[in-house]
Amino acid sequence: MSTTRLAWAAGLAILIVLPFITPTYFLHLLIQILIWAFIYTAWSLMGRFGFVSFGHGAFMGIGAYVPALLWSYWNVTPWLGIPLGVVLSGLLAIIIGYPCFRRRVIGHYFALVTLALSQVVLLSLIAAREITGGSLGFTQRAVGYSWYALQFPEKSYFYAIAVLLWLFGLAVWRRIDRGIGREALEAISEDEEAAASVGIDVLREKMRVTVISAALTALGGAVYGQYVMYLNPETVSGIAVSLQIVFAAIAGGVYSLFGPSVGALLTLSLTEGLRVWFGANFVGAANTIYGILLVLCIIFMPQGIVGTLQRPKGSSARRDIAWNWRKG
Amino acid sequence: MLSLAAVSAGYGSFQALFDVSLEVAQGEAVGIIGPNGAGKTTLMRVISGLIPMREGAMTLEGRSVGGLPAHRMVEAGIAHVPENRRLFPRLSVEENLRIGAFIPQARAHFAERLDWVFSLFPRLEERRGQLAGTLSGGEQQMCAIARALMSKPKVLLMDEPSAGLAPLVVQQVFDLVHKIRAEGLTVLIVEQNVQQVLEVVDRAYLLEVGAIKLAGSSAELKDNSFIRQSYMGL
Amino acid sequence: MDIYLLEAVINGILLGGVLALLALGLNLIFGVVDVIWIAYADIVMCAMYAIYFLYTGLSVPLPLAFLIAIIGAASLGVLVHLLIIAPVLNSAPLNQLLATGGLLFFLQSFATLLFGTDFRNIGVRLPVLEFATIYVSFARLIAFAVGLIGAIALYGFLKWTYLGIAIRALAQDRDIVGLMGVDPRRIYLVVSAIGGGLAGLAACLLALQYDVHPFIGNTFGPVIFMICVLGGLGNMIGGFVASFIISQIIAIGGYYSSTELSYVLAFTFFIVLMFIRPRGLFAR
């Protein structure tokens, strides 16, 4: 057995044992970290190739709200609602992504178009306040333990779901990383015209990774929604969430398999730790320090934490995060 | 006037200049010739402070100016007409000239300097309100030279003033160099057009792979068999 | 024409004045420093708090409070440049964007820490004017006029002063302005100060109309980015025109539906237009 396999086996064993030995509070934190790690990993599928989306808040919001609303108002099981939300997000990714790539909306322009998308979803959710409760949010109709409603009062169920989700995210990341698609995408991110001239279907490769990234993000949003039950537009969509995704993924590092997960682990433990430390007396103190750390991280560790610790293998050359972000 | 002693410079890990020493006397016109990639432009950029000097010394009128940033060099009296002219395309001709007189001592005499460069380049006066990006190649070169002259420099650096211009216009540009010399300016000029530049300068240096290979008066260089073979195709 | 619709249109034009001011500031900084300040609207928020506490807390006369806020915002602009932008000036554009994104988190959280999440109003009630049965808020009229004057003053500054010409020259070719005797670092500071000052000026106008709270930047920050992109990033005249287009969409959309949906409409309009003109409406 190779060392990598041994490490994987050990890691999995820890993940399996963990719910039996940790207090509920930590399990709650762990579930959140795993779900966000999955979402950050999904973002990095695009981000690592230089397509910096500030629109993933939109996909997450759709993924979370579609099944929640369908269940709470029309009694539709999340088993149908979740796939529907994922498909809708994928469609939205196509509607936005296709013309963007077609018309070569890149760099700052791509970032700001996707940012606008985040706002569209956020504001639509707030505007539909009759069913979403507007910016006050709403709580899903609870029925207790139910596989049909995908509701489990016991945290261990969601822990298992979150672990599986996270592993699924890593598997997708690895598949793209190992597939031929990656080389094509790297070629595209280096020089699009050159890539096209050697026969790479630039548009197809970009669309594929974008749709996968959006769909997975929606899936993450859905599981998050099922877990927390209470949904608020500001916590699952909009600029703040989009920025949070971009930050954490980049802070962790988007070139390595575990980079985004490390980003989730560190940023969430940090905010949670600061929150507990400061208590309820100093609202905002935790995020103040978080903001300072983010700026310092960007200035002093532009490669991300994992990237700073280990140079990316394979393409070896030192790169900045936004390798190929041409000035718009 | 201007003197460089054992100057070295480069970009990152690449060294472009090795121990370059040269001397330009007051009122003199000196040429720097050499093949593509010899480091001629780098040398100009080092003198005008765009690229920091790594080693060596540089003095202007006996005062050390080595290591000063570009905007300080202008104040010290060095003006640089960059390669490819580099006008500000969306500023008018007059605005380009105005920015040439940005430093305080030039601002004070802007009006008279403007009259002076317009007398040297009457063409620019006709085009003063036009956007610089819309000028013809020759007019752009005139504008670039005029812009550099606006700061009332002691030494004028010119990097490939004839590049990309039609033969007739090239001749006009070299005539301009004569005119500028007649005004008492010291000129250091980089050129690939060896034959023509040797007509306007007093002396020249041959730069190859970042080092001075040969130096001499124009007359000497014109007769030098190596120069004649390698650079004049004779 | 429906009299209420006309009112909406007029209010839209007036709203455009303030947005134009902010778009000018952001575009100036982007055009010259080549960095998008994601936290630009949060500088407005800081200045609004300054006005609030100076006026209601320390009883400083309003005009003086405004002046202090403008100077404070300009200094904040310089500080932001020195502490956050300068270190990442040669980094990848995304890192620059994220560095100012971190600033956004910081400013919003710090404001929450200091002032809580209460909505605060300086409590100055300006009259509502009536012109032939059309009601126009006086505060908005002032905002529009000041916005317009500010834009004209900035135009004059950039057009006719040495510093202004140097700023435009730097935006066109940053590598060689040194040869003109211009110190680029000094220009960056001047531009950051002007950008901050414009944010401060906008804060004065907004404080007359809106409550301040730590997250007020999120409500109009994205709109300003959108306007700048629509006008062509760095293109000040384009941004100026785009301000009025977007403010009309928001005003008329708000008349027919809700405020949120009018913003949804504006953002959607923006996204679709970017597909048609990927470098903005007024791309060069």
Could you report the per-residue pLDDT of B106-120, keeping only the tens digit for each?
999 999 999 999 998
Q: Count CB-CB contacts under 10 A for residue B71.
A: 20
Would you state the pLDDT for residue A317? 38
* Cα–Cα distance measured from residue A265 to residue C52, given in angstroms and rounded to the nearest whole number: 39
Residue C162 has its nearest CB partner, among B70, B75, B107, at B107
Asked if pLDDT for residue A319 goes beyond 80, the answer is no
Q: Is C260 an interface residue toward B (CB < 8 Å)?
A: no
Chains A and B share 3 or more Cβ pairs within 8 Å: no
Q: Which pair of tokens denotes residue A102?
A: 């077609």
Count of residues in chain A: 328
Q: What is the DSSP letter of C57?
A: I
Specify burial of residue C133 (Cβ count, 10 A radius: 0-12, 13-18, 19+): exposed
Contact B123, B172 (CB under 8 A): no
pLDDT digits (tens, 9 = 90+) for C104-132: 989 999 999 999 888 998 888 888 888 77
Q: Please give the ipTM for the structure prediction.
A: 0.91
Which chain B residue has its CA at the smallest distance from C173's CA? B88
Q: What is the pLDDT of residue A226?
A: 94
Tell me if residue B3 falls in helix, strand or coil: strand
B102 touches chain C (CB under 8 A): yes
Q: Which residues of chain B make contact with C176, given a CB cutoff of 8 A?
A: 50, 82, 86
Q: Which residue of C has its CA nearest to B105?
A: C181
Query: Any CB–CB contact under 8 A between C167 and chain B?
Result: no
CB distance C173–B49 less than 8 Å? no
Which of C36, C92, C218 faces A321 most closely, judged by CB atoms?
Answer: C92
What are A266's two structure tokens?
Answer: 């560190």
Q: Is the pLDDT of residue C201 over 80?
A: yes
Q: What is the pLDDT of residue C1?
A: 63
Q: Is the pLDDT of residue A318 over 60?
A: no
Chain B touching partners, 3 or more CB pairs below 8 A = C
Token pair belonging to A34: 């795993």
How much is the pLDDT for C163? 95
| Residues A23-63: tens digit of each pLDDT | 888 899 999 999 999 999 999 999 888 888 999 999 999 99
In a mutagenesis test of the C interface, which of A43, A92, A113 is the best target, namely the one with the most C β-carbons within 10 Å? A113
Residue C8 has pLDDT above 90, yes or no: no
Chain A residue closest to C233 (CA)?
Answer: A328
Q: Which residue has the tokens 């207790």?
A: A144
Tell whether the torsion through CA atoms of B129, B130, B136 and B140 is positive or negative.
positive
Tell me what the mean pLDDT of segment A187-202 comes to: 75
B213 touches chain C (CB under 8 A): no
Q: A291–C279: do the CB atoms touch at under 8 Å? A: no
**Residues 296-315, chain A, touching C (beta carbon < 8 A):** 297-299, 302
Share of chain A above pLDDT 70, in %: 92
* Between residues C272 and A300, the one the model is more confident about: C272
- For the record, the structure tokens of B34 come out as 């050499």
Which of C88, C107, C276 lies closest to A298 in CB terms? Answer: C88
Quickly count: other Cβ atoms within 10 Å of residue A171's Cβ.
11
Mean of the pLDDT values across residues C163-169?
95
User: Is A21 strand, coil or helix?
Assistant: helix
Q: Which of C175, C180, C183 sits opposite B99 (nearest CB)?
A: C180
Name the band, by pLDDT with cuts 50, 70 and 90, for residue C237: confident
Quick check: A216 pLDDT over 50? Answer: yes
Give residue A96's pLDDT band: very low, low, confident or very high (50, 70, 90).
very high
Tell if the CB–CB gap between A120 and C116 is shorter than 8 Å: no
Residue A207, token pair as written in the block = 């669309």
**Nearest Cβ partner for B91 among C162, C169, C176:** C169
Instruction: Say if CB C139 and CB C209 are below 8 A apart.
Output: yes
- Per-window interface: A 112-151 vs C, CB < 8 A: 112-113, 115-117, 119-120, 123-124, 126-127
pLDDT at residue B139 in the model: 92
Which one is predicted more confidently, C3 or C78?
C78
Q: Is B226 exposed, middle or buried (0-12, 13-18, 19+ CB in 10 A)?
A: exposed
CATH superfamily of B1-77+155-234: P-loop containing nucleotide triphosphate hydrolases (3.40.50.300)
C258 CB neighbours in chain A (<8 A) are 127
- Residue B157 and residue B42 in contact, taking contact as beta carbons nearer than 8 Å: no
Tokens of C29: 């900084």
Q: Which chains touch C (3 or more CB pairs under 8 A)?
A: A, B
Chain C residues with CB-CB distance to A127 below 8 A: 258, 260-261, 264
Nearest CA in chain B to C183: B71
Residues in CB range of A124: below 8 A, 6 or more apart? C260, C261, C264
Report pLDDT for B112: 94
pLDDT in tens, A247-280: 889 888 888 889 899 999 988 888 888 888 877 7
The answer to whether the Cβ–Cβ distance between A108 and C97 falls below 8 Å is yes
Rounded CA gap, C155 and A128, in Å? 42
CB C105 to CB A298 under 8 A?
Answer: no
Q: In terms of DSSP bridges, do strands B186-191 and A230-231 run parallel, antiparallel, or are they unpaired?
A: unpaired
- Alpha carbon distance, N-terminus to C-terminus of chain A: 49
pLDDT at A305 over 80: no
Q: Is pLDDT of A323 > 50?
A: no
Predicted confidence at residue A272, as pLDDT, reads: 86
Question: Looking at residue A310, what is its pLDDT?
Answer: 54
Q: Phi, psi (5° rounding) for residue A82?
A: -65, -50
Which residues in chain B show pLDDT less than 50?
none
Q: How far apart are the first and last CA of chain B?
A: 34
For residue A139, the cross-strand partners are A230
Per residue in A1-27, pLDDT tens? Answer: 578 888 888 888 888 888 888 888 889
The two tokens of residue C94 are 């995304």
Give the residue range(s) of CATH 3.40.50.300 domains in chain B. Answer: 1-77+155-234
Determine, for residues C99 and A298 on separate chains, whether the beta-carbon distance falls below 8 Å: yes
Chain C: give the shortest CA distance to residue B2, in Å. 17
Residue A180 and residue A147 in contact, taking contact as beta carbons nearer than 8 Å: no
Flag if B95 and C176 touch (Cβ within 8 Å). no
Q: Looking up tokens 């320390």, which residue turns up?
A: C58
In the prediction, which pLDDT does A306 show? 66
State the pLDDT at residue A328: 35
> With contacts defined as CB-CB under 8 Å, which chain C residues touch A112?
36, 225-226, 229
How many whole angstroms separate alpha carbon A216 and alpha carbon A223? Answer: 11
pLDDT classification of A288: cutoffs 50, 70, 90: confident
Residue B88: its chain C contacts at CB < 8 A? 168-169, 172-173
Inform me whether the pLDDT recorded for A127 exceeds 80: yes
What is the pLDDT at residue A159? 93
For residue A320, what pLDDT is reported? 45
Contact residues, chain A, for C95 at CB < 8 Å: 298, 302, 320-322
